[in-house]
Amino acid sequence: MNDRDVTRPTNNMRGIVELAEGGLAQIHRVGMVGQLSEDLWRRLVAACVGTRELGPRDRLTQAGTKISHSALLLEGMITRYVENARGERLMVALQVPGDFVDLHGLPLGHLDHDVCALGHARIALFPHAALSGIMSESSDHARELWRLTMIDASIHRHWTFRIGRLRAAPALANFLCEMDLRARLSGLGQERGFDLGLTQADLAEVCGLSAVHVSRVLKDLRDGGLCILRDGFVEILDRDGLVHLAGFDPDYLYLPWDGHSPTS
């Protein structure tokens, strides 16, 4: 219980007045949106109505609330989590710069989960009306946006697999491998490691473990010379060893150079 209470999101929604107009020039392409066509990207930049700053644990969206905009993460990290009536909670996704955070809100209208910032974050906002306009102009663009959300769904599937079939140590290693790769793709992260803004309690919520057990497993990874997590920074000591322990295979991320063509 205490593990959970300490990370409750705040409800500092920050008014629309704080939108930074003219921030469009600051929208650079990294990570996932780098896969989009030039033409779609230009239209997205034109459709952006501004950026917004989020502080730690600021909630962006709440389950069940209708939404009219979708957000692209520019800086920082954002978590999406499911919580039931009993307060049991699990993170079901983690977004890095270049990820759309709630593009699925466009076809769905409202979300089934909450969305909140982990540390400081900056997002770009796109009105659903404008996105719908882009979709109706070009079905290729519609498919590109659809595809982004389907990669997100693929990641969901592998998170399910990770939690359901891997033991604590391989599961944590697997998660760290995924984030190491995604962080490097989004411009964060170097050969040495990457900045994962998570506490051990957060990691527990990602992997369906208790915070205490995460502490023990991280000690094992550390003692095993695989990686060290300190102050939110994951230092990779033995990437091959980590990948092997995790049984990590990045196919599910649908990276553009993985030998498959994206569409038929």
Partner DNA sequence: CGGACTCTTGAAATTATTCAATCGGGGTGG
Partner DNA sequence: CCACCCCGATTGAATAATTTCAAGAGTCCG
CB of 182 to DNA, least distance (A): 20
Residue closer to DNA by CB (options 219, 260) is 219
Question: Residue 139 touches which of a second copy, DNA, none (CB < 5 to 8 A by kind)?
Answer: a second copy
Instruction: Write down the H helix ranges in the chain.
Output: 2-5, 38-47, 105-108, 128-137, 139-165, 168-185, 200-207, 211-223, 239-246
Q: Using the rule CB under 7 A, is 6 a contact of DNA? A: yes
Residue 169 touches DNA, criterion: CB under 7 A: yes
Q: Which residues contact 69 (CB under 8 A, 6 or more apart)?
A: 49, 125, 126, 127, 128
Rule CB under 7 A: say whether 218 interacts with DNA. yes
By the rule CB under 7 A, 116 interacts with DNA: no
Q: How many CA atoms, within 13 angstroms, populate the side-chain half-sphere of residue 58?
A: 17
Options 117, 130, 134, 209; binder of DNA; rule CB under 7 A:
209
Q: Which does 71 bind (CB under 5 to 8 A by kind): DNA, a second copy, none?
A: none
Q: Are 234 and 162 within 8 A, CB to CB?
A: no
Going by C-alpha positions, the residue among 72, 70, 81 that lies closest to residue 34 is: 72
The residue range among 29-37, 78-86, 132-140, 194-202 that interacts with DNA, by the rule CB under 7 A, is: 194-202
163 forms part of the interface with DNA (CB under 7 A): no
Question: What is the Cα–Cα distance from 57 to 116, expressed in whole angstroms?
Answer: 6
Q: How many helices (DSSP H) and strands (DSSP E) are in the chain? A: 9, 10
Q: Contact between 221 and DNA (CB under 7 A)?
A: no
Tokens for 121, please give them: 């974050």
What is the H or E stretch that residue 127 is in? strand 121-127
Q: 34 vs 187, which CB is nearer to a second copy? A: 34
Binding residues for a second copy (CB under 8 A): 63-64, 66-68, 80, 82, 84-86, 88-90, 92-93, 104, 106-110, 112-113, 128-129, 132, 135-136, 139, 142-143, 146-147, 149-154, 156-161, 163-166, 207-208, 247, 249, 251-252, 254, 260-264
